[in-house]
């Protein structure tokens, strides 16, 4: 699979390393430009390259966006038309600035992002896991129910399956967390946020009354 990754920090960079190690091709982009990624690309090897944000958006059918929400909302919608876009981010008002709709609970950050990328298929994933756990806890030798959980939310069933299948390949236990509206259950402060859970435990926790 060809995967564009926008944001080369803790989650984006770690995810890029994982998928390259599993034989996928990656095009990495960040706000500082391709030259700043030369060392990372050299480390990752022949299946990785650097490019612009535009290059990453057009590289494959799957684009992972791992940048602050304020920067997400500046992305050009036309670049992502028809793509599956994985939103790994969270809303932090001190960093992103106050966004009234989010503060009032009228919409989730991923719904806001999806509204921006109106012709893309946005899936929320990788936003509740510490990057070191993402790097070390994938274990394909374990039964699915015993693997480290990663939550997946979205409004497009096929898009959710695409990222869930990839996470399963990487050794994790994907957990269907419902729609983008329901991804409120995955945001900072929620019980599942940064919780080290098996898939079985994560599914049980989501079923509990709020």
What does the pLDDT look like over 125-145, one tens digit per residue?
Answer: 999 999 999 999 999 999 999
CATH code assigned at 194? 3.40.50.720
Rounded CA-CA distance 26/133 in Å is 21
The widest CA-to-CA distance across the chain, in whole angstroms, is 49
Tell me which residue range forms the domain holding 161: 2-207
pLDDT value at residue 210: 60
pLDDT value at residue 207: 85
Q: Tens digits of per-residue pLDDT, 46-87?
A: 999 999 999 999 998 899 999 999 999 999 999 999 999 999
Instruction: Name the strand (E) or helix (H) holding 149.
Output: strand 149-154
Quote the pTM value: 0.95
Strand-strand pairing, 62-65 and 84-87: parallel
pLDDT value at residue 60: 83
Asked if residue 99 lies in contact with residue 92, where contact means CB atoms within 8 angstroms, the answer is no
Domain count, the chain: 1
- CA angle, residues 61, 122, 44, in degrees to nearest 5: 50
């Amino acid at each position: 699979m060809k995967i564009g990754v926008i944001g080369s920090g803790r989650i984006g960079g770690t995810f890029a390393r994982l998928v390259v190690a599993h034989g996928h091709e990656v095009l990495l982009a960040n706000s500082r430009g391709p030259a700043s990624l030369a060392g990372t690309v050299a480390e990752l090897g022949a299946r990785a390259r650097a490019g612009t944000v535009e290059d990453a958006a057009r590289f494959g059918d799957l684009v992972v966006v791992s940048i602050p929400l304020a920067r997400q909302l500046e992305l050009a919608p036309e670049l992502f038309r028809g793509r599956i876009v994985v939103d790994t981010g969270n809303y932090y008002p001190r960093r992103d600035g106050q966004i009234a709709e989010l503060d009032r609970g009228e919409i989730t950050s991923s719904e806001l992002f999806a509204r921006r990328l109106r012709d893309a298929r946005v899936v929320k994933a990788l936003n509740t896991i510490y990057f070191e756990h993402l790097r070390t806890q994938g274990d394909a030798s374990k039964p699915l129910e015993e693997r480290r959980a990663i939550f997946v939310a979205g409004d497009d069933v096929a898009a959710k399956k695409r990222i869930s299948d990839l996470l399963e390949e990487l050794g994790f236990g994907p957990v269907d967390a419902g729609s983008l509206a329901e991804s409120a259950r995955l945001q900072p402060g929620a019980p599942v946020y940064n919780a080290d859970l098996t898939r079985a435990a994560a599914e049980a926790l989501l079923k509990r009354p709020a």
